[in-house]
Amino acid sequence: MSFSLAITTAEEIAVTARAALVTDLANTRWKHEVGGLTLPDGAIVRTDRETRAALTEAVNSLSNGLMQAPIAWKMAAGWTDLSQQDLEAITAAVSAHVQASFAAERAVQEQIEAQDDLTGFDLQTAFEEALNASQ
């Protein structure tokens, strides 16, 4: 017995295209979310989930007196010593970066869902525009 799936209506084609775009959008957001960021001083900071957890842990440990500054920290370009203020500023920048990633994904998903015809929809451009609008 063979099984085949035939998409026969314009509505089914649109649903499939919309689902594919939403999946691609989530992947685009994830790449941006964990792709790192450059601080105003030019330092590059990792934004992967492990680094975010380590930053939060270090800030909490400093705040609760479990560690003392300066903290030895390995940045993307190498080692540095961070004060509590430095660490909090980096953590805040990383948090803002992650939130901007999700806000952009949400905005673009709303655009995708609002359109009847997705022909020519440029996902990358829409995501970049949404990121720029949220900053």
Q: What percent of the chain has pLDDT over 90?
A: 79
Ranges of each domain in the chain: 10-134
Q: What is the pLDDT of residues 15-67, one digit of tens each?
A: 888 999 999 999 999 999 999 999 999 999 999 999 999 999 999 999 999 99
Buried b (16+ CB within 10 A) or exposed e, 102-122: ebbbebbbebbeeeeeeeeee
